[in-house]
Structure 1
Amino acid sequence: ITWSILYILFLYISYALIQGAYNTTLKYGQEHSLKERSFFELDSQFSIPEKNPLFAWIITNFTRAQENYIVQRLQYINSVTCITWIRASLDNTESTTKNYKTPHLVEFVPAEKGCKADVNSPAAKAANRWAKVYVSPECINFRSIVHQIGHAMGFGHEHQRIDRDCYIKIDPKLEFHPLLNKVNAIDISFPYDLYSSMHYRRSDYIKYAGEGERDVVFIGRYDDTLSGLDIAKIEYRYCGAKHFCDRRAGSCLPKDKNGCSFKP
């Protein structure tokens, strides 16, 4: 009887260990893969500037669940950056934003399919025009809301940087597609960020340039969050924080003959 009990106990412990390892791997792969791999996190020694830049948003005609998810993503950005997103309306914008010199106005609009956003600009802000973010159910299911909010904050695609060929491979048949071609206006002073919320995910037409040299399983983000470099860019653009390269000596290397300054 004693041996039977010990054998059953052994089987139970073995099963628990295997199941625990499986659940941990599954959880890591599905929920925290890029958060864990995001190796550029801001140093705690650099304090976040006072919250001042304001983005006022309105949202209408979404289901309760859809609206809740969008608001949750806005609140997340408030919690990790110097930006303040607040709810407004078309008739109370002036009173809501009166304490801010240059509020940014963003309207979330339902769409039948896909995701699209106006890249916010000083001209739109000066004209007091609401930038539009078009959100469909598949956009929410694809966890792409933070990406669209990034456009509304004025950021372009990371994979459209003019130095992107140093780090990724684009299918030659698609390299001149308007969402994949190189754009001179996108800032390349920061290290290239494979894990940026503004980077398209790895696919048949976007791959890591050093495929086979290094195990890069993920490109882009899958959990609708910001990378450390995304946060650094927001703080630098809107809140007067020091440039990432001025804080992290050695992280921003001189450009080589091919114009590649950093290999992620």
Structure 2
Amino acid sequence: IYTTVFILIICFTSVLQKPLNSTDAWEQMKIQKAIKLFHIVSCVRFVPRTNQKDYVKFVWSKNECHSVLGQVGGAQDIALSDDCLYKPGYRGAVVHEMMHALGFIHEHQRLDRDCYVIVTGYGKSLHNLIQIAGTDSRFPYDFNSIMHYRQRDYLKGIYGEILGTQDIALSD
């Protein structure tokens, strides 16, 4: 049996420039740890950029962590705030944004999500909770995906919420 392993190479650079006298060595180390985790669990490799035209760039954001969905060409920001970098489980937050840059949507934005979770409130209209047409439901719904928000990720009553699993009777 032959197994072919394909490795996708993504070039990156990191420019976490905060205002005033802030140093970013600690943040750089945290990004490196997240990249190392990503390498352990996937065949995608983020390598330092030399002169590549298309690459992702880790940048500091004052307010939030975010990334454009999929490759846009040229420099593509993965914005990381202190909230992402200094909370427990920060590697998961960084990897989550790296996955967006690769084109992955939130698991709870699948068209079939209502079969698995309950999303309440007017928060359904928020860009992070709305369902996305054309999403692939050929794969099992992954409650443990790093791309799946947990109930605590949205403030109850303000943005709507993800309430947890649907009770699905598989047999009578």
Give yes or no for TM over 0.5: yes
SS at match of 2:124: coil
Q: For the residues of structure 1 that align with 2:58 and 2:138, how far apart are their CA atoms?
A: 31
Corresponding letter in the other structure for 1:118: V
- 1:59 match: 14
Are residue 110 (structure 1) and residue 60 (structure 2) matched? Answer: yes
Kept in 2, the 8 Å contact 1:55–1:85? The answer is: yes
Asked if the contact 1:119–1:131 (Cα under 8 Å) also holds between the matched residues in 2, the reply is no
- Shift, 1:104, TM fit: 5.4
Inter-partner Cα distance in structure 2 for 1:105 and 1:112: 22
Q: How much identity, in percent, do the aligned residues show?
A: 25
TM-score, with length taken from structure 1: 0.53
How many residues are paired up? 152
**Residues 16-52 of structure 1: CA distance to partner in whole angstroms, max 9, x if unpaired?**
xxxxxxxxxxxxxxxxxxxxxxxxxxxxxx96x4353
* Counterpart in the other structure of 2:165: 209
Q: For the Cα contact (< 8 Å) 1:113–1:139, is it kept in 2? A: no
Structure with greater helix share of residues: 1
Structure 2 alignment gaps of length 5 or more: 18-23
User: Aligned equivalents of 2:86 and 2:151: distance in 1?
Assistant: 17
**1:147-206 CA-partner distances (Å, limit 9, x unpaired):** 101101110111111110111111132112221111013322111111111111223411
In 2, Cα distance between equivalents of 1:57 and 1:71:
11
Unaligned runs of 5+ in 1: 1-45, 95-102, 214-259
Normalising by structure 2, we get a TM-score of 0.78
1:131 maps to which residue?
A: 76
- Taking the aligned partners of 1:132 and 1:187, their CA distance within structure 2 comes to 26
Greater fraction of residues in strand: 2
The answer to whether 1:179 aligns with 2:134 is: no
Instruction: Give the aligned residue type for 1:93.
Output: N
Partner of 1:6: none
Matching residue of 2:51? 93
* Structure of higher CA gyration radius: 1
Residue of structure 2 equivalent to 1:73:
34
